[in-house]
Amino acid sequence: MNIYKKLNEIVNMQPTAVALGNFDGVHKGHQMLIRECVAAAEEKGLAPSVFTFTNHPVNEIAGKTIIKNIMTFEEKAEQLEKLGVENLFSPVFDDTIRTKGAFDFVKDILVDLFHTKHAVCGFNYRFGYKAEGDADRLAQLGREFGYGVSVIPEIRINGNTVSSTLIRQIIDEGRIDEYKDYTGRLYCIDGKVVQGKHLGRRIGFPTVNLSLDTTEAFPRNGVYITQTTVNKQKYQSITNVGNKPTVGEFAKNAETHIFDFDGDLYGQEVRIEFIKMLRPERKFDTLEDLQAEIHKNCLQAQEYFKTSLR
């Protein structure tokens, strides 16, 4: 997949079908939209493409993080490529783009740069200065500039409209087992293993530690059944997300105890996939009480894996 993070990198682009949106979380609504784009591209001999932003427009306008990212840029690109996207246009949302009216946004970017012959958007898509453009305006301009438009209606699962806002709420509340219903995959975090305080090793449960980016949406503090990928191999694991209140107050991080694994992972990249929450994080009176609870949680996780593999 070709990735363009600056508009001035785009030259002599072959005609495209372009999916428009933020695509944070690449949920099932996004997936339907992108599949429509890929199908239109196939039918018309176009390059299936996605136009989004590296940063969230709401955060850029506010000058601070209001909306947290569900996934990293790298994770988003990975999922889009799996869906068949050939070009990912992902510039920074800056004043140059923010101040373009709907007409100029379409002419300067979609038509002149991307050579768009078909555009696909969601029912609630907005574009242009102060979000003046909507799906109807996109279609109206399409008739003027000669590109087709497909509008994807809302998708409902379990009685809920699928949206990135809903998925952030699911993550925030620790309802991590519901994430797969709306995305088709497990919630995951990627990161580099960093040095911890070695408390887990001292109490018999060595862990790998990942520092967490405060601009990203992370699960409610608690203990989760997880699986951890190391060097493309998956291991059963258990993960605590939180601040370790029993031993002090620390920045929020993720500590993962990997079952049946022995090795030094410092500095290596790992992926942790979350399956379900076992319990919220809480403060224990003694380290012995914490140790007993971790032992119990490990047994619960191992029993879960045994049951799920039957």
Name the active-site residue from 255, 269, 288, 293.
255
The DSSP code sequence of the chain is -EEESSGGG--SPPPEEEEES--TT--HHHHHHHHHHHHHHHHHT-EEEEE--SS-HHHHHHTS--S-BSS-HHHHHHHHHHTT--EEE-----HHHHT--HHHIIIIIIITTT-EEEEEEETT--BSGGG-B-HHHHHHHHHHHT-EEEEEPP-EETTEE--HHHHHHHHHTT-GGGHHHHHSS-EEEEEEEE----HHHHTT---EEEE--TTB--PPSEEEEEEEEETTEEEEEEEEEE--TTT-----EEEEEETT--S--TT-EEEEEEEEEEEE----SSHHHHHHHHHHHHHHHHHHHHHHT-
Q: Token pair of 159, please? A: 């009685």
Q: Token pair of 310, please? A: 């039957």
* Sheet with strand 87-89: strands edge to edge: 2-4, 87-89, 47-51, 16-20, 116-122, 148-152
Which residue is associated with the tokens 């994770």? 75
Q: Residue 192's CB: how many other CB atoms inside 10 A?
A: 13
- Catalytic annotation on 36? no
Q: Which residues pair with 241 in a beta bridge?
A: 222, 254
d(CA 286, CA 162): 43
- Catalytic residues, which ones? 255
